[in-house]
Amino acid sequence: MKKQTTRQAGLPGILPRLARWTGSAMLLGLAALTGTSAPAQAADEMQRRMAACTTCHGREGLATNSGYFPRLAGKPAGYLYDQLRSFRDGRRQQADMNHLLAQLSDAYLREMAEYFAELDLPYAAATPSDLPAAELARGRALVLEGDVARGIPACVRCHGPALTGVQPGIPGLLGLPRLYIASQLGAWVTGDRRALAPDCMAEVGRRLRSEDIRAVAGWLAAQPVPANYKAVPASALPAGLPVACSAMEAHR
């Protein structure tokens, strides 16, 4: 089996978990993934072709909130499409994702994104955090209020009032593993994760300290997902985004 390599920050203890990938399943999934598509193809055929994704992201892209891999089901299609293109084009660094998507067309990536975005499946219950109360309070403050003195906008300013995401290109932040949230924030800081300009998360990420990342990830991962977990329309952000962001501008 091949061990995953990563330079992302915030990943202590993750490498042993990622080393448990099943090589044969990945190869089978890749064979399915590279098949050609047809508009009339049945849903179960699309599910079969997504085997490379669900090997790690869980049945129907559900994942869990206690591992590392993020949920795909129900995320905004624009967001998923942007991330698939970023993996393919090298703006996001993860060896297996980069390899799996290297030869896939924009049209196929969009089809993949739409498939997972349309899955309407419940979230698992949140896992209580073991972080100190003061640290969780700091995470809550950053998420809901930001830090004006350091130019850090509140997460709710971009990810929606309930943190369930904003259509078409901003993801929800709830129901994600703590390790995943921490690693992605760290990746924005180190440059291992990038987006097309204007790269709003890189701008915000550079203002975060390691203790901020730990606190935010811990608080977010412990929050229950609301019954209405759908991403909201852009009109739900009456003040607009606090920083210019390609996640929305690319879909205008």
What lies within 8 Å, CB to CB, of 147 at 6+ separation is: 141
Distance of CA 221 to the CA centre of its chain: 13
Task: State residue 61's pLDDT score.
Answer: 84
Overall average pLDDT of the 103-121 stretch: 96
Residue 42 pairs in a beta bridge with none
pLDDT score, position 52: 87
pLDDT of residue 66: 67
pLDDT above 60: residue 27: no
Write out the two tokens for 60.
């129907």
The pLDDT-based confidence of 44 (bands split at 50, 70, 90) is confident
- Whole-model pTM? 0.82
* pLDDT tier for residue 63 given thresholds of 50, 70 and 90: confident
Q: 4 pLDDT exceeds 70?
A: no
Between 42 and 50, the more confident residue is: 50
Phi, psi of 166 (to 5 degrees): -135, 130
Q: Could you tell me the domains of the chain?
A: 14-117 (1.10.760.10), 133-249 (1.10.760.10)
**Residue 232 per-residue DSSP state:** B
How many separate helices (H) and strands (E) can be counted in the chain?
13, 2
Token pair, residue 193, equals 């994760």
More confident site: 8 or 179: 179
The residue among 7 and 52 whose pLDDT is bigger is 52
pLDDT at 237 over 90: yes
Mean pLDDT of the chain: 85
